[in-house]
Amino acid sequence: MTKDRLYFLLLNIGHFLDHLFMLVFATVAALVLHLEWNVGYAELLAYATPGFFAFGVFALPAGWLADRWSRDGMMCVFFIGIGTVSILSGLSRTPLELGLGLFAIGMFGAIYHPVGLAIVTMKWRNTGMRLAMNGVWGNLGVASAALLTGYLIDHGGWRSAFLLPGVFSIAVGLVYLALRWSDIRSDHSTPKAKDTPASAALAPERRRLLIRVSAIVFLTTAVSSLVFQSTTFALPKIFDERLTGLARQVSDWGSGQSDAATVIGSLAFIVFAIASIAQLVVGRLLDSFGPRRIFMVVASIQIVFFALMPGLTDILALVVALGFMLGAFGQIPINDFMIGKMASGPARARIYGIRYVVSFSVLAASLPLIAFVYDKWGFDRLFNILTGAALVILLAVLLLPRRLPTEAVNPTTS
């Protein structure tokens, strides 16, 4: 394997780990922790909320530090830092201690998206496909959180779901550090901003177009984040409630033992993994057709399947869940693609940082919403809300221009 391929692989592994760490608690809380600590599911979500706020708020300083210092250096901080605090989280004895650990996980997890995506969009061509491949790794991290945690709950205890990925992340960080050490020392990993002459000022028409597209990007980012968080975080609990009959059948077909958490985690993994394919398809189509038409299709898919979900159980619920997850995952690379095409190269990490402050702040705010709606009405009302959210996305996308205003800086390698 060449150094360039190893570099891209390590960035992809980072995306995998980032989403895995952020969602381990979702499965732990849904399947076991509310019993072990005698704390309700809705109450447990309160301990995860600060971590998701940190996941958003710290994205901006992470992007700023990456642009000012070193993107590769910040990636090393990500791998080693998040691995260390995950290990400490696995040693928690109370909900408060675990909440503090989740906050630290969110703080280090905030590094990846503004920094890793800036590297991907700056270094390589075929931006749509590269982002899609990177996104699939992130989606598999989402999926593996449910699968791995469910398995470890049944066979090793919930603490090991924090401990083992933490050790692995530190090991990957050391490999990354060895690979990129010369660039970090010489500070070649981050292009520096150049002074822009007054003659290069934007024309009024182009400026208005950039403002219009940027407003749409940030609006759809916010609403899409609500959809993504509500589906990925709540899916293990949704399956725990609605797929009990199917899970029992699968368990009987297998070992005959009552490994319910493993079965639920496996079904969530299957849905997430298959839905990840949508991201590869979308990535290829973005390079060929641009974002507007693709975004309209993805939003329409979500509207249909969210509207169908209320009241369904077992195999029908599983099929429809796969449908709306195809839409939720398929939309992920679209906004990143548009930012990568429009953003200034030297400031790209900071712009991604702003995008992810918006995105992950909404992710954090989604947790109280999920808890409130679930406690008052159950998940059917949540799917009604998500149907409306997907409709908002579709209406916003209709206002996108057919061609994006792009910046002049292009990636340097293929």
Cβ neighbours for 43, distance < 8 A, ≥ 6 positions apart: 371
**Which residue, 59, 50, 82, 385, is CA-closest to 234?**
385
More confident residue, 407 or 176: 176
Domain 3-188+204-397, classified CATH 3.30.930.10, yes or no: no
Give yes or no for residue 259 having a pLDDT over 70.
Answer: no
Give yes or no for residue 198 having a pLDDT over 60.
Answer: no
Query: 217 pLDDT band (50/70/90 cuts)?
Result: confident
Q: Which of 134-143, 186-195, 232-241, 272-281 bottoms out in mean pLDDT, i.e. has the lowest? A: 186-195
Can you give the pLDDT at residue 101?
95
Q: How far is CA 354 from CA 5, 61, 114, 118, 217, in A?
A: 28, 9, 8, 12, 11
Can you give the pLDDT at residue 204?
73
More confident residue, 320 or 368: 320
Query: 38 pLDDT band (50/70/90 cuts)?
Result: confident
Give yes or no for residue 201 having a pLDDT over 90.
Answer: no
Give yes or no for residue 40 having a pLDDT over 50.
Answer: yes
pLDDT per residue as tens digits for the range 86-137: 999 999 988 899 999 999 999 999 999 889 988 887 776 666 678 778 888 8
pLDDT per residue as tens digits for the range 285-316: 887 887 888 999 999 999 999 999 999 988 99
Query: 207 pLDDT band (50/70/90 cuts)?
Result: confident
∠ Cα 290 356 264 (to 5°)? 90
Cβ neighbours for 86, distance < 8 A, ≥ 6 positions apart: 21, 24, 101, 105, 162, 163, 165, 166, 169
Query: 76 pLDDT band (50/70/90 cuts)?
Result: very high
Give yes or no for residue 341 having a pLDDT over 80.
Answer: no
Q: How far is CA 400 from CA 219, 267, 282, 327, 394, in A?
A: 12, 36, 17, 19, 10
Instruction: Report the percentage of the chain scoring pLDDT > 90.
Output: 28
The pTM assigned to this predicted structure is 0.71
The mean predicted confidence, pLDDT, of the chain is 82
The three-class DSSP label of residue 140 is: helix
Query: 190 pLDDT band (50/70/90 cuts)?
Result: low
Phi, psi (degrees; rounded to nearest 5) at 124: -115, 155
Give yes or no for residue 356 having a pLDDT over 90.
Answer: no
Enumerate the domain spans of the chain. Answer: 3-188+204-397
pLDDT, average across residues 366-377:
85
Give yes or no for residue 223 having a pLDDT over 80.
Answer: yes
